[in-house]
Amino acid sequence: MTCTGCALLCEDIDVRDGEVRHACRIGTAHILNRQQIDPMVDQEVVDIDDAIRHAAALLADAERPMFLGFGNSITETQAAGVRLAEKIGAGIDPCSVHTSLIDDIVHSRVRTCTLPEVRDQADVILFWGADPMNTHPRLMSGYAYYPRGKNRQHGWEEDRTAIAIDVRRSHTASICKSVHEIIPGRDVEFIDALMLALRNKVPKTVYDSKRVLKLAGTLKKAEFGVIFAGSGLVGSVPRDAIIRLMDELNEFSDFRILPLFSQYNLRSIATAAACEHSGGCTPTPASLHDADCLLCVGFDLASSLPQACDIDASIIVIDPSETLTAGCADVVIPCAAGGVDLAGTAVRMDGTKIDLPSITKTGQTGAGARISDLSIMNRLLEAV
């Protein structure tokens, strides 16, 4: 079975008699999570059909609807969401700082690779603004650092060099051979210094130029380098700075980049919704104030934007679990969780399509069963 606890989509999960095997702590908690919300209208518990009818009425009446999220939905639900958005003229925002990089990867503006290629080929691995030991716990053992691969038979001891670049010393940094601390707000300066160093020029910078030169030397010697780009990188630098750095690295060696995000199917919706904002797609209070109806699908708007509940727009939440946004939403519709009690497909962080069989056998019928967000989306499509 497949875990949808993060975008790594580990496919070796076994669930027997309520015991989860092979999943990390995040995946186990995700699979066992049963904190379901009740269907609600105006914060009163109602029948789920009433909640769907009410949501359809709000969407049909909206003049400037906006859909947020979908990164934690199966691809089939995303497709229905795109059709619904087209039907009522809504915009879709996956609400992730990673959408720009995904767009650059999909349109070949930067070189990328698959996770098995990282395992088989990578000798220099950069974790930039990323802490996979806490966000994607099985990345290091499955692909990025510890495993022996086809051309990396000696494993991490001899074959791989891990480097962390971040504003703080993360857990991941503790296993890296070198760590470079970024001064908050001065990320681009570090990239510029590194690019000069790659050309054997001594950078005049607030950073230790000797260490930057040494880092450039390591990167230039890479046979197959990979940057795992966390939100600390893509959320802090303009997308063109990443493209320039990748171009420069590829003048000297073979370098790839992979975005490291948590939402298990973000790559799919980001590709479908093709974000055009240069600085990423995180909604700002200003852009949200333009909307008169917000549909949050598997996305907790209030946790990333606390002032969301003060926005003068109706809010509809479709989510498998309790969220902060549900606490101030006009309509709440609980749904099944993709890969847990709903089968479908998803796209892994490296672009590989993965099947998601349903883990639980309770399915979508019977008392307490959860209706899928795909069925909810299809019912909204029929109703509006």
Sites of contact with ligand SF4 (CB under 6 A): 3, 5-6, 8-10, 23-24, 26-27, 136-138
Minimum distance, C-beta of residue 261 to ligand SF4, in the bound complex (Å): 11
Closer CB to ligand SF4, 3 or 126, in the complex: 3
Closer by beta carbon to ligand SF4, 6 or else 118: 6
Q: How far is the CB of 139 from ligand SF4 (least distance, A)?
A: 7
Question: Among all chains, which residue has been given the structure tokens 């795109």?
Answer: 82
Q: Running DSSP on this structure, what letter comes out for residue 182?
A: P
Question: Considering the complex, what minimum distance in angstroms separates the CB of residue 336 from ligand SF4?
Answer: 17
Sign of CA dihedral 275, 277, 278, 281: negative
Q: How far apart are CA 148 and CA 140, in angstroms?
A: 11
Looking at the Cβ atoms of 6 and 308, the one nearer to ligand SF4 is 6
DSSP 219-242: HHT-SSEEEEE-HHHHTTS-HHHH
Torsion from C-alpha of 287, 293, 297, 301, nearest 10 degrees: 50
- Decide: 296 and 321 in contact? Cβ < 8 Å: no
Nearest approach, Cβ of residue 13 and ligand SF4 (Å): 7
Least distance in angstroms from the C-beta of 285 to ligand SF4: 31
Please identify, using beta-carbon distances, which residue of 140 and 162 lies nearer to ligand SF4. Answer: 140
Burial of 18 (0-12, 13-18, 19+ CB in 10 A): exposed
Query: Do residues 308 and 302 make contact, with C-beta atoms less than 8 angstroms apart?
Result: yes
For residue 364, the minimal CB distance to ligand SF4 (Å) is: 23
Q: Least distance from C-beta 9 to ligand SF4, angstroms?
A: 5
Q: How far is CA 269 from the centre of its chain?
A: 10
Q: Which is closer to ligand SF4, CB of 28 or CB of 314?
A: 28
Task: Please say which residue, 9 or 194, places its beta carbon nearer to ligand SF4.
Answer: 9
Q: Which is nearer to ligand SF4, 138 or 370 (CB)?
A: 138
Nearest to 69 by CA among 326, 286, 253: 326
Question: The tokens of 80 are what?
Answer: 């229905």
